[in-house]
Amino acid sequence: MKRSDRLMAIVLALGQHKETAASLADKLEVSRRTILRDIQSLTELGVPVYALNGVKGGYRLMEGYTLPPLQLDTNEALTLLLSLDSMTAYADTPFNKERWTVMDKVKSILSPETLNKVAPLLKHMTVEVPRRSYTVPHLSRLMELTAQAKWVSVFYRSQSHQRTLLIRPQRIYAAHGFWYCETYSQIHREERLLRVDRMSQVEEAEPPPTLPDLPELGQDYVLQQDYVCEENSSGGLDASKRNFPALARTSFTLKAKLTYRGMLEVERDEHLGEKLVMIAEDEWLLEGELPVSEWDWTVRLFYFLGTDAYIIAPSALGEAVAIKARATLRHYSNTEKENRS
């Protein structure tokens, strides 16, 4: 990044909120000393930067200071338009109209030269978003209540229940073509990941009598996915759990070998993908700690992977996958017998 671009980036950042020299250095990938020199240069140029002392100190721009109209170079314009274009792929958003009008506004402020460079690139670049068919009529209200740190009452439809949940949303994000809500659920007494399109009612609610210790926004915490175990009522999966002492703890150690095809499937997962290590040609090792709350999901994952994975530990996980496979085999064996008769 050229120094002039870096100075502009600092002014833009300080115009939005307080920043420390360390935070600016981290964002712009330069040293703290460089940032201090840049801030000194800005003050010499007449930019009203002032310092806040103390533990929570930093730098800010004087209130009321404005910048001239924004000028974007080719890469900046491409970054912005590509991001906006990916949002148009979502079936429903809180800003359906705005996502189109803002693209027109951005294009209108670009110079003809920049626009001519960006247009061909946009034709050959895309952020892949799966096409879905759903609506999220309550997303705007949910976003508003989340920003206000409110407790929310939602009527939620999962694979096993249709009921009202009392939740405290922590974060809302878009992924895989869906909108998700990371939230604490009072009924489940733990953090959950919910699909927003499965919410049919969203209303502000009174906090529960006893408040849980909720993580700070941005803090990492384990999420219980919104799923149910698919084993039948006689399922040996529960028996496997009883025979697995490690499940008395909050986590278990997973160790498995994967083929190339298995690796391609697992690396898509944002939590497991970083735990993959190549150990030989066409062979990968997956090893790491997983929360017990993800046990059923892990069983289904390795059942799906089939012969492209081999579970080394825990042995109970391999047994649970085998139980699921035998149940599927019985199902199709019985179906074949019924068809013959």
Q: Would 69 be classed as within a structural domain?
A: no
What CATH number does the domain containing 182 carry?
A: 2.30.30
Q: Would 265 be classed as within a structural domain?
A: yes
What CATH number does the domain containing 40 carry?
A: 1.10.10.10
The pLDDT value given to residue 218: 42
Q: Would 134 be classed as within a structural domain?
A: no
Under 8 Å between Cβ of 131 and 86: no
Q: Would 231 be classed as within a structural domain?
A: no
Residues 216 and 244 in one domain: no
Of the listed ranges 39-53, 146-160, 209-223, 228-242, the least confidently predicted one is 228-242
pLDDT tens-digit map of 76-110: 899 999 988 888 788 888 777 777 778 877 887 88
Pairwise pLDDT comparison (273 vs 95), residue with the higher score: 273
Residues 44 and 101 in one domain: no
Q: Would 32 be classed as within a structural domain?
A: yes
% residues pLDDT > 70 (the chain): 86
Q: Would 66 be classed as within a structural domain?
A: no
| DSSP at 90 | S
The pLDDT value given to residue 177: 86
Give how many domains the chain has, as a whole number.
4
pLDDT classification of 37: cutoffs 50, 70, 90: very high
Residue 107 to residue 120: CA distance in whole angstroms: 14
The pLDDT value given to residue 239: 33
The pLDDT value given to residue 320: 94
pTM over cut 0.75 = no
Structural domain including 30 reads: 3-61
Residues 178 and 156 in one domain: yes
**Which pairs count as long-range contacts for 193-196, CB under 8 Å and 24+ apart, including other chains?**
193/223, 193/224, 193/225, 193/226, 194/154, 194/156, 194/165, 194/167, 194/226, 195/226, 196/136, 196/138, 196/139, 196/142, 196/172
